[in-house]
Amino acid sequence: MRIGFIGTGAMAQAIARGAVASGVDPATLVFSNRTATKACDLADELGGNAASSNASLARQVDIVILAVKPKDQRAIIKEISPIVVGRPDICVVSLAAGRTLDQITTDFGAGIPLVRVMPNVAATVGQSMTALTATRATDAQVEAVRSLMDSVGRTILIDEDYFPVFQALASCSPAWYFQIVDSFARAGLKYGLSKDSAVEIAAQAMAGAATLLLAERENGTIPAQLIDRVTSPGGTTIAGLLAAEEGGLSTALVSAVDASIHADSHLG
């Protein structure tokens, strides 16, 4: 199966590199970009191929990944739609945040196999949480796209109606986690640690906690059970946890999700 990337920005590069690292034959990857040298550079790095144009790419591949900014997507679709609509075996993948399956279908002017994908910034280090939703795509096409995204992290298939909440929980939340780590680091600085050491300590503790939670989740363990596991009567952990709750930790985090969803609805 040949996979084409229209656009070679950071996300396309992360996915392509992850695919090759997971065993995908680089010769099956095709790249195009508004700046042709960028497509050539990525193709040379990975051992893939650079197409002479977006239209040429669409003629060569089985999956077309639209890895351009949302504002540029309609122009790209206009360019490739005559080819895509004439090839019922081709599947289009959109990485554009905020662009719905219906909007993209309307831009093509016909029903085509289409998968909407929402990765997050951690794809660049192989730790993305990615959502997928599809229309008119075959099970094999969806599985091929999911396998591709699995190469840069974890994936979940959800109904498109839940994309706004997924965006808050997975795409917006890294900024909040960075803020949390920075706040812990400032607390460490307050008590004499260097900022650099405090960041490393807090970031690794967060990464370890997340890894533990995901591993324990396979056994049906829920976060509250892990909280109980690391707190003891009259101990330092429960003292800090209760202080955080008194300061509004849970309410603030739920409010952050609410605000992100409402902002997305307003922008849409």
Per-residue pLDDT tens over the stretch 87-106:
999 999 999 999 999 999 99
User: Is 7 assigned a ligand-binding role in the annotation?
Assistant: yes
Helices 236-246, 249-267: crossing angle, 10 deg rounding: 50
Q: Identify the three-state secondary structure at position 14.
A: helix
Residue 143 has pLDDT above 90, yes or no: yes
Could you write out the DSSP letters of every residue in 231-263?
A: --TT-HHHHHHHHHHHTTHHHHHHHHHHHHHHH
69 annotated ligand-binding residue: yes
Q: Would the annotation count 248 as a binding residue?
A: no
Instruction: Using DSSP bridges, classify how beta strands 29-32 and 49-50 pair: parallel, antiparallel or unpaired.
Output: parallel
Q: Is 30 annotated as a binding residue?
A: no
User: Is 67 annotated as belonging to a binding site?
Assistant: yes
The reply, when asked if residue 54 is annotated as ligand binding, is yes
Q: How far apart are the first and last CA of the chain?
A: 34
199 known ligand binder: no
List of domains in the chain = 3-158 (3.40.50.720), 166-265 (1.10.3730.10)
pLDDT tens profile 248-259: 999 999 999 999
3-state secondary structure of 5: strand
Q: How far is CA 211 from the centre of its chain?
A: 18
pTM to 2 decimals? 0.94
